[in-house]
Structure 1
Amino acid sequence: MSLLEERIGFIDSNFLEKLPSERDEQHFRIEILRGFSDGVAWGTRSDGQFVLLDHNGITKSFTGIKAERVSDFSEGVAAVGINSITEDGAVVKLGFVDKDLNWRIPPRFTDCKNFAEGVAAVKIDDAWGFIDRNGKVVIGPRFQSASIFSEGLCEVSISTDKGIKSGFIDHSGNFEIAPKFERLYAHLEKKANLENGELVSDGLEVTMYGRPLIEYLPAFSVFKSGIAPVSVRGRIGFIDHSGKFVIEPKYVYASSFSEGLAIVSNDAKQKFGFIDNKGKVAIPEKFRFVLPFKSGLACGIVGSQITSKFSYFNRDGVKQGAFSSYCSGSFSEGLAPFGLGTLNPPGWNRKEPMSFSM
């Protein structure tokens, strides 16, 4: 199936297709879609440039810049990266734009996370700190990594005499939960079992847009419903705000909670399921890949063949509707993005095609 025979769009809660305009206001074909956040969604044009769509399919394009990277909108702004020429050559610098695609915080960071609770983690040179909505640094750059604030706390990591350890800070930058945990990222890297850049599961390549599916799983810790995943001695469990374990560390992968359920895996064959906030199994580990619950549904793959498609499942793990596709995302604002056609269409621009943030 050629690129021109591919079909993209959104589905509603009844699994009915809601296709956007095939071309934007400059007549470029829109090829890849991300989910809605703050009333807008990113698309990628055939020339590789990003465009912004609203719920009516009306698009906006950047003027005078070529975006290399975008994030979902949060608290009215989105991170955008552009090429910047330095003494070391071209590097991507990130800042934040509003929905009119005007800079609100100029691009000067080497990396950043979305705004949450009024602040965003940003990487300045080689260290992470936090800025406010005006771009002012409110917590100085001193961390090895940083997540997003939730329930007043944010996971960060620092270098200690025992290696890099993660803990949780408050809005003053003070540790509320001491840095004594391992990085969740390390377990994602181990779990991926990458071979030549692709994930192998049961001897089959499992990729989307040329990237291992497991790379799309949430890989950071966020407090939800009073608990957050942390890693010790190669296993992941869940702690409360005091740092006490409420679900013992026994998983090789675990996500933060979303709508009362968390993705977990304790299967050497790389299957995923869900638990509730008491640690009770809600859906057995049967998915080859699955995303967090949004709007009461989880998007995942159950089949054992590489031709298996994404479908949607309820909280009992039962497939909902007949819709399936080779590329799908979570529901947000009543819609979910999809792509019909080959799993890894040749020639597609592979710039972070979808966002599955918590």
Structure 2
Amino acid sequence: MKTKRRYGFPRFLANNDDCGCYAFDHGYYKKDFETPAVIPENEWPYYMEVYPFRKNRALVYVDKNNKDNFQVINAKGEVICSDIHASAGFYSEGLCAVKMEDGRTGFIDENGDFVFECPLFVHYWLEPGRTKPPLVAGLFSEGKAVVETAENQWAIYDKSGKKYDWPDGVQKANAAYASHVDGEEFKSGLLLVVKKENGTRKYGYIDHECKVAIPCIFEQAFDFMNDYAIVKLNGTDGVIDRAGNFYSAESIMNGK
């Protein structure tokens, strides 16, 4: 009997980097979007939210016995870790930021064991008629995680749990400006941040140790890619290198 297809748009396609299946509605499909994967379809009502697999691990938000929480599952659908109250949604560099039901917060490994504990602020999203999972901010990239330790307060942690204090006067870019999608992770050793002054926003970059590497002087800026980032400075579009040197789009087009 052919499996009934569920309609909707497959979410987080770019992040489904292994296990050959996509997060889709309340379960997982194989690449043909017809064949259920990981969890039998008749068990999907327990999954109120699913997140993409990374390195044979996925976070799922479940509703069983009138209790909502996250679980970590493997590609066979086996539960690796449960009783997670809030989560970052998926693993990054082998670690996942969580708040457990017993109140502990920090990062767990792929076995569900705590690697280190640190404060994490939990976001509770309200949406009429729908239960939304509580989420925390904390994704590793280049060996460092950008962690929201309290509401709109940030810090950097390495994988040993060492903390780097956030510089004064700047915020994580995508937290300060909701429509700006960059500034979530380090790229080319730098993280996009924003500074608010006199009702305007100016963008710059900090390094792995939370030091301001490129001052907040740009009207627009994006993540680095291959050691360059697109910016706008004094109304002029261009790019900068990791040292902060500005090259206007016009000069680049003219080969200067």
Q: Calculate the TM-score normalised by the size of structure 2.
A: 0.64
Residue 124 in structure 1 maps to residue 62 in structure 2: yes
The aligned residue for residue 81 of structure 2 is 139
Task: For residue 288 of structure 1, report the CA deviation from its aligned partner.
Answer: 5.2
Task: For residue 259 of structure 1, report the CA deviation from its aligned partner.
Answer: 2.6
* Identity %, equivalent residues: 26
Written as runs of structure 1 = structure 2, the 5 A alignment for 1:267-306 is 267=196, 269-287=200-218, 290-298=221-229
The aligned residue for residue 171 of structure 2 is 252
Contact 2:83 2:101 in 1 (8 A): no
- Aligned equivalents of 2:69 and 2:220: distance in 1? 32
Task: For residue 68 of structure 1, report the CA deviation from its aligned partner.
Answer: 4.1
The aligned residue for residue 130 of structure 2 is none
**Number of equivalenced pairs:** 209
Q: 1:176 aligns with which of 94, 101, 115?
A: 115
C-alpha offsets along residues 101-139 of structure 1, whole Å, 9 cap, x if unaligned?
A: 343235622222222222011111221111111222221
- Aligned equivalents of 1:262 and 1:178: distance in 2? 23
Q: 1:239 aligns with which of 124, 146, 157?
A: 157
The aligned residue for residue 24 of structure 2 is 80
Q: Partner letter of residue 71 of structure 1?
A: F
Contact 1:151 1:224 in 2 (8 A): yes
Contact 1:263 1:292 in 2 (8 A): yes
- Aligned equivalents of 2:220 and 2:29: distance in 1? 32
Q: Partner letter of residue 94 of structure 2?
A: G
Task: For residue 159 of structure 1, report the CA deviation from its aligned partner.
Answer: 5.6
Task: For residue 99 of structure 1, report the CA deviation from its aligned partner.
Answer: 3.1
C-alpha offsets along residues 118-168 of structure 1, whole Å, 9 cap, x if unaligned?
A: 20111112211111112222212422223322333211124667xxx7411
The aligned residue for residue 38 of structure 2 is 105
**CA gap 1:64/1:101 in 2 versus in 1, 3 angstroms:** closer
Residue 263 in structure 1 maps to residue 201 in structure 2: no
The aligned residue for residue 199 of structure 1 is none
Gaps of 5+ in 2: 126-135, 174-183, 251-256
Q: Secondary structure at the match of 2:140?
A: coil
Contact 2:141 2:186 in 1 (8 A): yes
Q: Partner letter of residue 110 of structure 2?
A: H
- Aligned equivalents of 2:9 and 2:92: distance in 1? 28
- Aligned equivalents of 2:191 and 2:106: distance in 1? 20
Q: Partner letter of residue 70 of structure 2?
A: W
Contact 2:138 2:148 in 1 (8 A): no
Contact 2:73 2:79 in 1 (8 A): yes
- Aligned equivalents of 2:82 and 2:190: distance in 1? 34
Gaps of 5+ in 1: 1-62, 82-92, 190-218, 323-358
Structure of higher RCO (CA pairs closer than 8 Å, 6+ residues apart): 1
Written as runs of structure 1 = structure 2, the 5 A alignment for 1:152-167 is 152-158=94-100, 166-167=105-106
**CA gap 1:127/1:302 in 2 versus in 1, 3 angstroms:** farther
RMSD: 3.6
Contact 2:222 2:229 in 1 (8 A): yes
Deviates more, 1:118-127 or 1:172-181: 172-181
Q: Partner letter of residue 113 of structure 2?
A: N
Task: For residue 301 of structure 1, report the CA deviation from its aligned partner.
Answer: 6.2
- Aligned equivalents of 1:301 and 1:111: distance in 2? 38
Task: For residue 240 of structure 1, report the CA deviation from its aligned partner.
Answer: 1.9
- Aligned equivalents of 1:301 and 1:96: distance in 2? 41
Contact 2:221 2:230 in 1 (8 A): yes
Task: For residue 182 of structure 1, report the CA deviation from its aligned partner.
Answer: 2.5
**CA gap 1:150/1:65 in 2 versus in 1, 3 angstroms:** closer
Contact 1:314 1:320 in 2 (8 A): no
Q: Secondary structure at the match of 1:138?
A: strand
- Aligned equivalents of 2:165 and 2:206: distance in 1? 10
Q: Partner letter of residue 156 of structure 1?
A: V
Task: For residue 276 of structure 1, report the CA deviation from its aligned partner.
Answer: 2.0
Task: For residue 287 of structure 1, report the CA deviation from its aligned partner.
Answer: 4.7
Q: Secondary structure at the match of 1:231?
A: strand
- Aligned equivalents of 2:231 and 2:70: distance in 1? 33
Q: Calculate the TM-score normalised by the size of structure 1.
A: 0.48
